[in-house]
Amino acid sequence: MSMGLTFAKKHGYEVRANQELIAMGVGNVVGGCFSCLPLACSLSRSVIQDQTGGVSQIASLVSASLVVITLMWIGPFFSALPRCVLAGVIIVALKPMFMQIKELKKFSKQGKLEMFTWISTFLCVVLIDIDIGLLIGVCVSLLALYIKGLKPYSCLLGYMPEAPGIYMDMNQHRNVMQVPDTRIFRYCGSLNFATSLFFRRALYESLGLDKSNNSSSQTDKAKSNYVLVAQNGANETNGPIVDYSFKFLILDFSMLGHIDVAGCSTLSDINKELKARGARLLLASPMDRVYDTLVHSMALREGPFEIFPTLHDAVEYVTACRSS
């Protein structure tokens, strides 16, 4: 999954963990009945196949065919080839992975715990082995999450007509009104590598947006990155009826306790996606350390983000933009 997420981020697609792991498990179960080797991940082969342009299972079929041909007939011609040649090919292919050491500066600015996690994982993968290194990295990351606390909660906010400046959960209060052309999304907890997918999914569901993962066969229908989600009867009994067209999205970070590099990258991606559909992203009420992390991330070419000290200031700014 770590390799899959790395290539997914590089090529701009999403990986479903359950789907991939179930497929690998079924493959191992079936292969185990015929004395096959278990399926696993090869760091060097995956990088080499990606650099040679392989994008589908056909590439694996071609690679397996070449391996069979080499073992059966061409192998003797390579018997005198020094092993350093193969090592050179692998090192050149893994050069982008080793160059990730430049990201250490970015992680060091986010906090000592993030830097320790990155260094321990990197050194264990390089010096010991990839499986042991990833296992140690996962354990350190889980320990970090346990320390910081992980209880994400999210909702859409609206204002009280009789008390301007007070914003309440629209699912819990019937009298709240939605700011015109604006959506206010509150997220509680931590925004990091483990919760970034949950944050994105909760945000899209609250906004009535569903990010479609279109295939090449969906030619004309796949031009739009977003489709409106039908909300038939969702708000007939509880809460007001929500219009899902908006021009401003305000993220209320007053209850966000921590954000890391992956969280800032997620916000940057959301910002770009909103600009593509003609909307703007505003951040409101960040805590001191969250604000510092956002500022550091902008210095490292993330964002840029429009940050406001309070939620009401962001709403007033939106109102001024709408009236001008």
- The first and second tokens of residue 283, run together, are 């951040």
**Residue 96: strand, helix, or coil:** helix
Class assignment of domain 153-214+225-323?
alpha beta
- The first and second tokens of residue 209, run together, are 């947006």
The confidence score (pLDDT) of residue 87 equals 81
Spell out the residues 6+ positions from residue 297 whose beta carbon is closer than 8 angstroms to its own: 261, 264, 265, 268, 303
> Which H/E stretch holds residue 35?
none
How far from the centroid of its chain's Cα atoms is residue 110's Cα? 17
Show the beta-strand stretches assigned E in the chain. 153-160, 163-169, 182-191, 209-211, 226-228, 248-252, 256-259, 280-284, 306-308
* Degrees, nearest 5: CA angle 135-138-143: 130
Q: Record the pTM.
A: 0.53
Q: How far apart are CA 320 and CA 101, in angstroms?
A: 45
Closest CA to 176 of 241, 127, 232: 241
**Is residue 298 within 8 Å of residue 305, measured between CB atoms?**
yes
The confidence score (pLDDT) of residue 143 equals 83
Instruction: Please enumerate, as own/partner, the contacts of 209-217 that have beta carbons within 8 Å and a separation of 24 or more.
Output: 209/244, 211/14, 213/13, 213/14
pLDDT tens-place values along the chain, 324 residues long: 878 888 888 888 888 889 989 999 999 999 999 988 888 877 777 877 887 888 888 888 888 898 888 888 887 877 777 888 878 877 877 777 777 777 777 777 777 778 888 888 888 887 887 788 888 888 988 887 776 655 577 888 888 887 777 888 888 888 888 888 899 999 888 888 878 888 888 888 888 876 544 333 333 333 333 333 333 334 444 444 444 578 999 999 988 888 888 889 999 999 998 898 888 999 999 988 899 989 998 888 887 899 999 998 999 999 898 887
Q: Which amino acid is at 292?
A: D
Q: Regarding beta strands 182-191 and 153-160, do their DSSP bridges make them parallel or antiparallel, or are they unpaired? A: antiparallel
pLDDT in tens, 25-81: 999 999 999 988 888 877 777 877 887 888 888 888 888 898 888 888 887 877 777
Instruction: Please enumerate, as own/partner, the contacts of 207-211 that have beta carbons within 8 Å and a separation of 24 or more.
Output: 207/183, 207/244, 207/246, 207/249, 208/242, 208/244, 209/244, 211/14
The confidence score (pLDDT) of residue 240 equals 45
The confidence score (pLDDT) of residue 210 equals 62
Domain-wise residue ranges, the chain:
37-93, 108-148, 153-214+225-323
Query: Phi and psi of 282, rounded to 5°?
Result: -125, 140
The confidence score (pLDDT) of residue 308 equals 92
Direct distance between the N- and C-terminal alpha carbons of the chain, in angstroms, rounded to an integer: 48
> How large is the C-alpha radius of gyration of the chain?
24
Letter string b/e over residues 29-55, b meaning 16 or more CB atoms within 10 A of that residue's CB: eeeeeeeeeeeeeebeebbbbbeeeee
**Is residue 118 within 8 Å of residue 103, measured between CB atoms?**
yes
Q: Which amino acid is at 302?
A: E
DSSP summary character for residue 38: P
Q: How far is CA 280 from CA 50, 76, 179, 258, in A?
A: 35, 62, 15, 23
Spell out the residues 6+ positions from residue 153 whose beta carbon is closer than 8 angstroms to its own: 187, 188, 189, 255
